């Protein structure tokens, strides 16, 4: 399985790097994360409850950060066991690109393999579950960044002064002198 995407973060590159290395913030942003503990330098143990299709399980995983290039990039190596539900392992390349004083684009490519009941579900269902978890993670992660760094959420685009129906009625009034 491969998952490639990018996310625009509303903070500087240094702030994004700091947040990506804050295990408390990460634990609160990872869907179903029950625990996130440092076990050594750049090594962590993670407990996550996840549902992939009809299979729901608690996964115990290990994360290791490698090839650190602060504040630009790193490689995340991971593996996890979910008992009878199955197991997974892989890597993710994470790269931060500064696009402005308060804007950073996070690029990521994850490669993973799964086994056990999870693998029997089919790659399409596993891919959809992974994408859903990534979407939920980044929604929460962005909200946490906005809270931490007092980022003002972008304003909704202004509505046009009149909707189509209002303009049509105004035109008819002008046309018929009403």
Q: Model confidence over 124-151: pLDDT tens digits?
A: 888 888 888 889 999 999 999 999 998 7
Share of the chain above pLDDT 90, in %: 61
CB atoms inside a 10 Å sphere around CB 178: 8
CB atoms inside a 10 Å sphere around CB 11: 20
CB atoms inside a 10 Å sphere around CB 16: 24
pTM over 0.85: no
Q: How far is residue 83's CA from residue 27's CA, in Å, rounded to a whole number?
A: 22
Helix (H, G, I), strand (E, B) or coil at 115: strand
């Amino acid at each position: 399985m491969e998952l490639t995407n990018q996310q625009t973060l509303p903070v500087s590159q240094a702030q994004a790097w700091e947040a990506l290395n804050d295990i408390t913030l990460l634990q609160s942003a990872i869907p179903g994360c029950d625990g996130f503990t440092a076990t050594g330098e750049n090594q962590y143990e993670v407990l996550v409850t996840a549902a992939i299709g009809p299979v729901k399980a608690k996964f115990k995983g290990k994360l290791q950060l490698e090839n650190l290039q602060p504040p630009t990039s790193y490689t995340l190596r991971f593996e996890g066991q979910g008992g009878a539900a199955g197991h997974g392992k892989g890597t993710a390349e994470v790269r931060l690109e500064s696009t402005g004083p308060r804007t950073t684009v996070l690029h990521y490519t994850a490669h993973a393999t799964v086994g056990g009941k999870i693998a029997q579900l089919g790659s399409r269902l596993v891919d959809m579950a992974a994408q859903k978890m990534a979407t939920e993670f980044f929604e929460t992660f962005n909200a946490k960044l906005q809270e931490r760094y007092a980022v003002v959420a972008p304003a909704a685009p202004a509505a046009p002064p009149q909707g189509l129906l209002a303009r049509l009625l105004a035109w008819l009034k002008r046309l018929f002198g009403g």
